[in-house]
Amino acid sequence: MRKFLVGLFVVLIVAIAGLPPVFGVVYERQFEEQMDIGQLNPYTEFRVAEFERGLYSSHATVTFSLSDEYVEQIRSAVVPDDPDNPVTAEQLADLDELLDLIEGELQFNVDIQHGPTSFPDGQFIGLATVKSTLDSSDGALAELQNELGLSHLFAIDAQVGLDGSTDFQASVPPVKYQDTDSAIDFSGLTIDGHYDNRDRSVVATSGIDSIAVNNTGFELTIAGVEMNTDARLLENYLSLGTTDIRINEIVLFDSNISEQSRVRISNAGLSGAVDVDESGKKISMDINYFIEEISGFPEMEIANVRLNFGISEIDLEAMYSYLEMTRNIGTIDQDNSAEYMAEIQAIAFQVLNGSPRLSIDPLAFDLNGESFIAQLQIDFDGAALPPGSTLDVLVGNPLLLMGALSGKAYIEASDTMANLIASNIVKSQLTATLGPESEVSEEDIETLAAGQSQIMIESFVQQGMIKRTGALLRSDISYKAGELVVNETLLPLGMF
């Protein structure tokens, strides 16, 4: 028995010692597959510049850059070709410096310890442990790292399981910097997540405790940033799942505008979701924005801001076509612009033919304690289009387009809020009509606007366009088959 146990022990030692080279080969293949997934993003480029596989460890060099097409889009956007508004030499120098940085290539050094066991920072059993760091050994990144006094700029640690799934932790270290004109205090960024290569899904959470920027009288403080994602990657870099971002507080102060007022935004954020229906042929997207409170503006308190935007019943193949088109958008010139426009029209018609729906539910906020809420839903019935229709046919025949549209909406506001909105609309019209040379004072314009807004609202109430219930005003609107109805009253479209 003793000889058997000793023999078994020796066999296990030899097996464990011999497995790392095998795991190194397996991980190299998976590494290359993950780089291929990175290529699905049309705006970025990943490249394995080097992969040196050893018996027990390997080293790789990976480069990351923005695609040439995307850089050209940025260049066109930030260097306007406008003879009436020429770019100064100083602005051009700043832009060139920015573009040089954008066009550059970032390099990551990747150190891989082969499994099945690894003990670099504690015991781990799996395919490999990986440590990636942004190379800042020379150039502008080296200068930045030295100036900030950091050991590194960005690092990722990962543990790859035997099934190929990966747990990862990424970080940007804290930064404290100050010169004669400005100061930055950044708590650092942390990201913790899990990637499953079987269905290309990722679950991750990240956070920033605080960011504080002070620059010659301008102050910005952001506290309590949390980001979460739970997504699965499909084709062409389209992902399904949810993402949310929450910020506990944002404080803005500019002494050039006000010596006293600090604008404070509390509990703000957004959440988004992308999903596929049961047929697997249609997708829906929802984005929800929210702000609990905005304070600091003179005589103005804003609270309970909500904007929920949704679009559904979008043809999945049309979305894939759109994403593929964006990959080649930077190569468009005058010679193929007509072909590009034809492709856009074909995709747009494919979306309409799938009967999409757009909704805003709701747009809501409180201003100085007074409420406003609105809802909108627009449907397009692709089945109502005659066979053989194209986007050109729809554009050339508005009645056909309007016949396929339907929708409903409502607007509800307190009496005080409605008067405030109407007063601002009338004030803008009066200011534009009177012109800049007018001798009418701003105070007189506000008085005129307040009086006319009350008359306008009462006129709409009398006509049934607005319903008053106590201190609330509301309008319900619907449109279908060419008929517009406001508060159960059919209105001729010629009125609008």
Q: How far is CA 277 from CA 280, 283, 355, 359, 407, in A?
A: 5, 6, 14, 17, 22
Question: pLDDT higher for 71 or 369?
Answer: 369
The answer on pLDDT for 351 being more than 60 is yes
Question: pLDDT higher for 94 or 58?
Answer: 58
Task: Tell me the torsion sign for CA atoms 16, 21, 27, 31.
Answer: positive
Confidence of residue 41 (pLDDT cuts 50, 70, 90): low
pLDDT for residue 254: 82
pLDDT for residue 336: 62
Q: What is the pLDDT of residues 352-366, one digit of tens each?
A: 889 999 999 999 999
pLDDT for residue 225: 93
| pLDDT, mean of residues 443-452 | 84
Give this prediction's pTM: 0.80
Question: pLDDT higher for 13 or 423?
Answer: 423
pLDDT for residue 334: 54
| pLDDT, mean of residues 467-489 | 91
Which of 102-106, 116-120, 372-376 is the most confident on average? 372-376
* Average of per-residue pLDDT values in the chain: 80
Burial class (CB in 10 A: 0-12, 13-18, 19+), 136: buried
pLDDT for residue 26: 44
Confidence of residue 25 (pLDDT cuts 50, 70, 90): very low
Q: Where are the domains of the chain?
A: 414-495
**Which of the residue ranges 30-34, 319-323, 375-379 would you say has the lowest mean pLDDT?**
30-34
pLDDT for residue 283: 93
pLDDT for residue 393: 78
